[in-house]
Chain A
Amino acid sequence: MDIQLLFSGVIFGLSLASIYFLISIGLSLCFGLMRIISLDQLLYYSIGAYITYSVVTVSNNFWLGIIAGVMVGGLVAFIVERLIFRRIYERELTFSMITSFGILLGGIGIIKAIWGVIPRPIKPPFANQINLLGTDVPAYRILVIAIAGLVYIGIWLFLNKTIIGKAIRAGIEDMNHVEGLGINASRLFTITFVLAGALSALGGGLYAPLIMVDPSMGLEILAFVFMVVIIGGLGSIKGTLISSIIVGQVVSIGSLIYAPLAIMAPFAMMLIILLIKPTGLYGNKLNK
């Protein structure tokens, strides 16, 4: 395999990893703080992509579309949190999983009702290639990677430098103590959930030009997002970053070697990691 192909494969893998990271960070944060498994993040991902599609076709401005997608994704997350998740935080983990899967399926039904079942293409904002180390790589993919990097830095700063972020981190350790300190837990949960939803929507909006937008896109990416979350360990942000890079690279390089490997290799890897460490790379014991 020549070096140029490998290099473009790595860039491709990194851009995939960025998308996986943006979606799974929401799942991971929600699990860490609220002890729920929120499968409906994949719904906000689809909503982000569809709103981006609609705004782009109307206004012809891609960035406006992304902003609208993130805002609508966050808004839907806010409504869902207020109406549904509010009532089930105290319940068992499996309970939230079934409910959120219901929300995901219902949401896909609504998307089908509004936009129909036909896949829709979105034009990338710019199609030119950048010459990096003698290899031509699409500029848009580099941009996606850069945005994901910025998001990671932003989340890191948010969690480590702001008081709300510090409260979230403390809540991941022990929610009862945080409440005892007089911090409004329900507001904290809402903020985290909306943040997670908005990030998933951002992931959807950014990924939309690279694939077709279709109603079952959330279900298609679901397996990969799960693998990322499981390999990294639920509730760990660093683990999510590392495992999304691993999965992205395995999918990309694997498909260069032998096409079916793109799907099977990460799954096999996940099984091996679970065999060694049943809670994933950075996951810790659940005490609930």
Chain B
Amino acid sequence: MLNAWRWWRGIIIAFSLVAIGRLFLPLPFVNEVLIFSIYTIGCNFLLGRVGFISFGQPAYLAIGAYGTAFYLFYFGTNPYIGILAGVTAGFIFALIVAPLFVRLRSDYFALVNLALAVIIFYMMQKVLVKITKGDNGLWFLTNITSTPILDLTKPSDFFIFALLIAIVLWAFYKYVDGTIFGACCLATKINETKFQFLGYSNFRIRLMAFVIANTSTALAGCLYAVYLGSVSPEITSPSRTADPIVVTILGGVGTLFGPLVGTIAYTGLRDVISKMIGNWELFIGFILVFIMLTNSSGLYGGAENALNKWLEKARVSNLNKKKPK
């Protein structure tokens, strides 16, 4: 019982804070934070655990979003089935591209992935214009029916749904971090030759990690689609490809709550700054360069390190006090 509490403690505290924040902050902001942090955690897992720097996350986001959008626009009305359709689409897409991508060296991986995001953008904007309606996007807010228990057409109910999804996802990633699979991911990042020597397959571990991370990214896309009630190619535009990377680095690479903290800081700053000056890219660029040059471990990473150091110090001084007796 105590162990279970200890395991869940961090997640419950973090998301209770988000739930409390819901009382003070405007609802669209909190919803945006939840969806965006779900979007970022996949990227965080890839970058921090597997060592893949993925500039192509928007591609998977768009696949999820368009999967949901096609279902809700052309076929059905139930948002839950729409989300399921989007996640399935994202899973299948990740499964198709994964064997090709994970063989590549990290630099080629990053370049090919970024190229993929741009290609998906062009595909949605120009090539599939008959289905996706091009730049206008698909609008299906009125198509979504209300469901009895959690009505996703209401932003307040959507918040509860997104919160539940986020808690489940965080628990899942925490669980994965603790399993042998998570340790394997870290091992292939740090020393792939030795890892191979131990008898594991780099390819298989990376493939699994890639599919898991990108399916969760697609899930964020589905949530965006249902929440906004519309999807346009803008979701994967080349200037937005850096967003998840920025948030991951801002929050702290490889930490469990880095994406959440990073998202809150990023979305908050964006809302404040885009009101003052219209030039948002300039700001992201400078944040990115600044964090990289100062070599800091991000907001949450830095706070975690400081806290650990402080706890360690307190423990050591306690021990010293006890020693004489």
A, B: real partners = yes
Assuming the contacts A94-B53, A222-B238, A271-B100, asked whether A99 and B293 have C-beta atoms less than 8 A apart, the reply is yes
- Which label, helix, strand, loop or mixed, suits the secondary structure of the A interface? helix
A267 at the interface (CB under 8 A from B): yes
Query: B residues within 8 A CB of A278?
Result: 103-105, 108
B320 at the interface (CB under 8 A from A): no
> Measured between alpha carbons, how far is A222 from B280 in the docked complex, in Å?
20
B27 at the interface (CB under 8 A from A): no
Query: B residues within 8 A CB of A112?
Result: 279, 281-282
Interface-located stretch among A143-151, A153-161, A225-233: A225-233
Residue of B nearest to A267 (CB): B119
CB pair A260–B127 under 8 Å, yes or no, is yes
Q: 0/1 per residue, B107-136, Cβ < 8 Å to A?
A: 110111011101100110011000000000
Residue of A nearest to B245 (CB): A98
> Measured between alpha carbons, how far is A127 from B98 in the docked complex, in Å?
48
Query: A residues within 8 A CB of B119?
Result: 223, 263-264, 267
B169 at the interface (CB under 8 A from A): no
> Measured between alpha carbons, how far is A34 from B58 in the docked complex, in Å?
29
Assuming the contacts A103-B289, A274-B104, asked whether A108 and B111 have C-beta atoms less than 8 A apart, the reply is no
> Which chain A residues numbered 192 to 222 have a C-beta less than 8 Å away from chain B?
216, 219-220, 222
Contact of A99 among B55, B110, B288 (CB under 8 A): B288
CB pair A216–B239 under 8 Å, yes or no, is yes
B284 at the interface (CB under 8 A from A): yes
> Measured between alpha carbons, how far is A146 from B55 in the docked complex, in Å?
35
Q: 0/1 per residue, A79-116, Cβ < 8 Å to B?
A: 00000100110000111011101111111111011000
CB pair A103–B285 under 8 Å, yes or no, is yes
Interface size on A, residues (CB 8 A): 45
B242 at the interface (CB under 8 A from A): yes
Residue of A nearest to B112 (CB): A230
B292 at the interface (CB under 8 A from A): yes
CB pair B107–A37 under 8 Å, yes or no, is yes
Residue of A nearest to B110 (CB): A97
B283 at the interface (CB under 8 A from A): yes
> Measured between alpha carbons, how far is A97 from B109 in the docked complex, in Å?
12
Q: 0/1 per residue, A271-283, Cβ < 8 Å to B?
A: 1001100111000
Assuming the contacts A222-B238, A223-B119, A267-B119, asked whether A93 and B285 have C-beta atoms less than 8 A apart, the reply is no
Residue of B nearest to A283 (CB): B108
Assuming the contacts A93-B107, A106-B282, A216-B239, asked whether A223 and B118 have C-beta atoms less than 8 A apart, the reply is yes
Q: How many A-B residue pairs have CB under 8 A?
A: 136
CB pair A226–B280 under 8 Å, yes or no, is no
B24 at the interface (CB under 8 A from A): no
> Which chain A residues numbered 111 to 147 have a C-beta less than 8 Å away from chain B?
112-113
Most central of A93, A98, A270, A278 by chain B CB within 10 Å: A98
CB pair A37–B111 under 8 Å, yes or no, is yes
Q: 0/1 per residue, B281-300, Cβ < 8 Å to A?
A: 11111111100110000000
B138 at the interface (CB under 8 A from A): no
B267 at the interface (CB under 8 A from A): no
> Which chain A residues numbered 56 to 89 have a C-beta less than 8 Å away from chain B?
84, 87-88
Assuming the contacts A107-B285, A263-B127, asked whether A219 and B292 have C-beta atoms less than 8 A apart, the reply is no
> Measured between alpha carbons, how far is A95 from B288 in the docked complex, in Å?
11
CB pair B283–A230 under 8 Å, yes or no, is no
CB pair B112–A219 under 8 Å, yes or no, is no
B144 at the interface (CB under 8 A from A): no
Most central of A84, A88, A94, A286 by chain B CB within 10 Å: A94
Beyond the given pairs A97-B110, A222-B238, A263-B119, 7 more chain A to chain B contacts, judged by CB atoms under 8 angstroms and listed by A's residue number, are: A105-B239, A105-B281, A106-B284, A108-B285, A223-B119, A230-B108, A264-B119
Interface residues of B (CB under 8 A from A): 51, 53, 55, 100, 103-108, 110-112, 114-116, 118-119, 122-123, 126-127, 238-239, 242, 245, 249, 279-289, 292-293
A-B pairs, top 10 by smallest CB distance, nearest first, are A106-B285, A109-B282, A102-B288, A105-B285, A223-B118, A219-B238, A109-B281, A260-B127, A102-B289, A94-B53
Q: 19 A-B Cβ contacts within 8 A? A: A88-B293, A101-B242, A101-B288, A102-B242, A102-B284, A102-B287, A105-B242, A105-B281, A106-B282, A108-B281, A108-B285, A112-B282, A220-B238, A223-B115, A226-B115, A260-B126, A264-B127, A271-B112, A286-B105
